[in-house]
Structure 1
Amino acid sequence: MAFGSGVISNMDRLRPETRSRVGIGVVGPHDLVEQIVMVGADLPAAADWRLVGAPHAGEHETYEKFSRIADSIDVVLFTGPLQHDLARQAGELPVPATHVPMSGAGLYAALLRGVLTQGIDPARVSIDSLPAADVDEAYGEIGVGTAGVHLSEYDEPESVRGFIGFHEQLYRQGATTAALTTIRSVAKALTTAGVPALRMMPTTHTLRLALNTAALLGTGSRLEEAQIAIVVVELATSARPGYSGPGNYWQQELKLKLHQALLADARLMGATVAPRDENSYVVTATLGALGQATDGLRAAPFMDRIRSDTGVEVEVGIGLGSTARDADANAMVAVEKARNAGAAAAYLVGVDGAVLSLPVRRRRRAEVEPAVTTKAAQLLERLIQGLDDGPDAMVVDAEIVADVLAIAPRSARRVLQSLAEEGLAWPVPPVKGAQAGRPRQPYRLVRA
């Protein structure tokens, strides 16, 4: 089966980008990924999503397989909590993530299969991964006691290392007749060691619920990212000229510098900039783009660059809304709050009227200047030397870094994250591409 492929209908071509199908990545063992893709294709909602399979040969490949499809999906569905936890431990998850839950539903089929094909005694087995409450409930429903049933619950990826020894020891001691596991690699290892092993698989009902959950997460993320954000940037009262007019060349030069400073940041987030009046500008973007440019709405946009490039203070108010009119109204409330705070922070007013203060975070150029011999600075220079000339060449993503430094994409992401932590790279949102899925995370390199 070819994963992630499909015929694009005329209806798909006619849909606007905001209503294109939600991309759901499926990451896990090959057999489970294939089963999920097949189940998803038969659901009524299948026309609203696009499944992208990323099967792995072993759990150690989980994050690598996810990274390969992360740029083309809106949400990722891991086949189990193990894969989900391994991916989170390995690196950044740039899209919402969920996993197929483990429950006692798959235990019934495994026990029945074992009784019919291997003659096991369901009252004398070892089980891993499942919660004790689910095992007790399942055995209670079939009327079998659990005195001879041994359980090792899942608790973070480290607990999986002990599953093989847990099952094998009990079987060698004659305490059990078979091992039941949710982990493909554990079942394979036990079979090789001569221990009867049955793999518990999630039921079709469980997979349907997991797919619907993933689709909701992906849709919610898209709606949030598409929410309109309007930013009003106005000169602080102390920075405004004493009089306005065509003869005030200082004022015209200041407006030009302010406009240029805004454009430098707005262009990278796919935003538009327009003058509002003599002393202010309005920037229109999406919440998703603004969130990436402000470290998840934890830092004020534009203020640090404007201070650095023009030497003046500005007041920044951000308004969110489902329509431009609502966002603009909220932005005016927010800029008034910024004005009353003396341009010490930017203020954001959300759709529900909630107010958030975003502090100014100064760039760390001055802090890293004495440390040009550090590993991070040396790595930055090596990276810059491998790039083309021109200002746009300083904006890179993991794919470019991996190519220049001849490293894996996963390592490239860590390089960019470390450079950002040292103030040598600034994460900026890209302009969303024409294809569905999330764009790559670019960074603007900053020379030490």
Structure 2
Amino acid sequence: MAALHGPAPEDVTIGVIGADKFVHRIAAVAREETRTPHRLLTAVYERESDAREKAMRIVGDVDVLLFAGPLPYDVAMSGGPLPVPATFVPTGGVALPTALLRGSLSGTVDPARVSIDSALERDVRETYAELGVDMRHVHVMEYHESVAPEQFLAFHRDLFHAGRTSGAITTVPSVAAALADAEIPSLTMAPAAISLRNALRTARLLGSGARLEDSRIAIVIARLPASALPHRTSSSNYWYQELKLSLHRALLHDARRMDAAVLQRDEHSYLVITTMGSLRSGTDDLTRAPFLASVRDALGIDAEVGIGLGRTTLEAEENAQSAVNLAVESGGDLAYLVGPQGSPIALPASHDGEAPEPAPVADRQNDTLREIITLLDGQGDEGRVVDAERVSQLQGVTLRTARRTLRSLVDAGLAWPMPPARVQKVGRPPVRYQLLDERLTG
């Protein structure tokens, strides 16, 4: 175990759990952060099955746990709830094309004849289409909660020995080691630096939220930039009044997803008042800024957005003001979050820096909601509040699929995320969703 200390002793401490190479990479990325240094405590395992044991050794000294990927995270969670929030570095992104390029340049594997684990088949298909490479002889095994490293190993080994592949691409270090022992050509698909930075940011925010167990007030200030203001503001500036109304509508659109209230603060800005749990639900676990992308898409301007957390509304608003001042300096590309400890954290408009397209209410999502409602009614449950575990049981799907289903319903305006219930239980409470069957069309 090793510790990396930032300058502020009260800062969030992130426990990093993974193989040796991963731990060294994420430590190097953390050292590059000069504006908001990270404080890390690391624990190295040789096999993913040891993830929970390693996590429990350091859990008393950290505010949040960050695992090397979904596999060690699920291994750790399978033993029961952890005492602190936990997250993991996601697979995919730019890691796959990078691995394919490495394989092609080094001659280790033929990208057109390869087996790939952990990645979503859809992502692989899109990557190959963009590269213009035929993937008829590419084999993919997606990750889900019940997959063990041995199954990935057997998947790669059987295809290679059958002469159907030139080698393997894996995200699991223990599988890579076993493939090397079996003399099967392979590459490790390691997360890109940007994925590591985003994962550190998410972990830090989750740790910060855990520290605010009894202080879950979150206030967002959304302000029109100075460049959009008229030289002389008055009620006769009709276009400016229209601009403010448009900003208000754009804020309301996203605020619904966070069960938040939108209030006019002054002539140029609005307050959005919500809870930390609802803010997480509406921003993909605080991996992107609220409102920036939707305001840019609706109004064609970059709003100034700052988020404040606090034990009181006054403290939260003061921190939001500090955060929005930082956003002004960034030129509108980022929003900032400031908590009681005063350490600012920058949030991008979206995961890839581009405003997401608004999701239409599709027939498929209407059908999905109808199916869930029918299943609830069939069990005598007239309530319309569910979480991912309930949907998983009703539809007979994995928790991950259930979470995707609920997020798609939210995007379609057919469900609302609700503030987490306050329960005396270790770990984060599940996110509950209000199903809006009155909005069904057709």
Q: TM-score range by the shorter chain?
A: 0.3 to 0.5
TM-score of the pair, normalised by structure 2: 0.48
Larger radius of gyration: 1
TM-score of the pair, normalised by structure 1: 0.47
Q: 1 or 2, which has the higher helix percentage?
A: 1
